[in-house]
Structure 1
Amino acid sequence: MNISIMNKLGKLFSLLFEKINHQIFLIRNSNLRKSDQIFTHLTTQEKRKLFELASKVEQGSYAVEIGSYLGASSCFIAAGLRDSSKLICIDTWENDAMSEGKRSTEREFDENTRTFRSKIIKVKGYSKEVVEEVYNITHTIDLLFIDGDHSYEGCKTDWDLYSPFLKSGGCVIFHDFGWAEGVKKVVEEDVKPKLKYFDSLPNMFWGYIK
């Protein structure tokens, strides 16, 4: 058997294994079956990782998501959080950073996240403009998911403004780490030096604050 065929078979088995793994996850977390159908740029592996990282957050804590789009990531984070914890979702819901162009997505977000409404606090606006509003909700957070403006300036602003909220041992996650050079630059220069542990998937990075 030549190397090309072996590589193709390897990829096929990997895809099959991932599909089976995700279906097992959905059987165990049936409240996410509908959420799994929401359009998103997340892979199935990334969805499960968000759930896993959120499940490690302490009872009664807060998580913050910058860039919620249609709510897929919000659902997987909220599902992972314990019942008394809350997820603050920050977005304009005007599709500002999406390639499909500007349109209102707030109604879709509300519908898609209905199952987890009791855990979600919406903060509408640009992340750099709503810091005080978030501060009025909580002074500290245990998890920060940055998936908003992928430019270097935008990503660094989000990190600079919201990382002070993170507790020691808190978790920070960046999406599109694999292709967005601005995100990668912020992670390498500003984020990694402040972490005691970090790991990644091809397009997602996470770590824990010292």
Structure 2
Amino acid sequence: MPAELLYAAKHAKGFMPVNEGLALFAAACHYGKLGPICEIGTYCGKSAIYLGAAARQAGSVVVTVDHHRGSEEIQPGWAHHDPTLMDIRFGKMDSLPTFRGTIAAAGLEDEVIAIVGRSERVAGLWNTPLGMLFIDGGHSEEPVTRDYEGWAPHVMAGGALVFHDVYPDPADGGQAPYRVYLRALESGTFKEVQVEGSLRVLERVKPGAI
């Protein structure tokens, strides 16, 4: 990964450890050659830098989808809440301005396309086959399930479905991403090809229902 983009990713606001970010970059370099990369859960753009750097190398593009009002775990009163992201006019989170600044500063505006809206609404309009799908939106049961059911069918055969924050041990983190990850494996549609920390890379091995 280019040094200046790795520096930008390391210093961007977000929760992606460097080892997992580099694994994400490597997967996107490989699978981005097949088709567009889609990220569900933009937040402030940290992981989008890793994906955008890979898209540039692979000759691909990243579409990143988020309503930018924050998932459950970053709302006021929760452990990951960042008060600097509050929009006091509406009393809501708004990570979009920070994201835009992050991607502009990294020089990745040509590679990273933002869609502002709820994942399930955008998924209902989506028809383009994906080389890689990265699910990292809301981490409770309902949003992870919606993201998987709405977007995983668009992953092309040979493409990748990537989950973040997969924790087999409940002591390490929430279980919803882990349960949906297991569902993907049990479907027989995907096989696991890489594990790095809480990141799981699954390759689509057959078409059909998920």
TM-score range, shorter chain: 0.7 to 0.9
In structure 1, what is the equivalent of residue 112 of structure 2? 120
Which runs of 4 or more aligned residues in structure 1 lie more than 6 Å from their structure 2 counterparts after TM superposition?
none
The aligned counterpart of 1:10 is: none
Q: Which runs of 5+ in 2 are unaligned?
A: 75-79, 83-91, 168-172, 206-210
Counterpart amino acid of 1:42?
M
Letter in 2 for 1:32: L
Query: Percent of aligned pairs with the same residue?
Result: 20
> 1:60·1:86 contact (CA, 8 Å) conserved in 2?
no
Gaps in structure 1 of 5+ consecutive residues: 1-24
What count of residue pairs does the alignment treat as equivalent? 181
1:27-73, CA deviations, whole angstroms, 9 ceiling, x for partnerless residues? x5333322320122111101101110111025472011000111010
Instruction: Map 1:166-205 to 2 at 5 A.
Output: 166-178=155-167, 179-192=173-186, 193-205=188-200
RMSD: 1.9
Alignment of 1:1-210 (within 5 A): 28-59=2-33, 61-81=35-55, 82=57, 84-97=59-72, 98=74, 99-100=80-81, 102-114=92-104, 115-135=107-127, 139-178=128-167, 179-192=173-186, 193-210=188-205
Counterpart for residue 87 of structure 2:
none
The answer to which of 107-116 and 146-155 deviates more is: 146-155
* Larger RCO of the pair (alpha carbons < 8 Å, separation 6+): 2
**Residues 95 and 153 from structure 1, CA distance in 2 versus in 1: closer, same or farther, beyond 3 angstroms?**
closer
In the alignment, the residues of structure 1 paired with residue 138 and residue 174 of structure 2 have an alpha-carbon distance, to the nearest angstrom, of: 10
TM-score, normalised on structure 2?
0.79
Deviates more, 1:200-209 or 1:189-198: 189-198
Q: Secondary structure at the match of 1:74?
A: helix
CA distance in 2, matches of 1:107, 1:158: 24
CA distance 1:188–1:83, shift in 2 (3 Å): closer
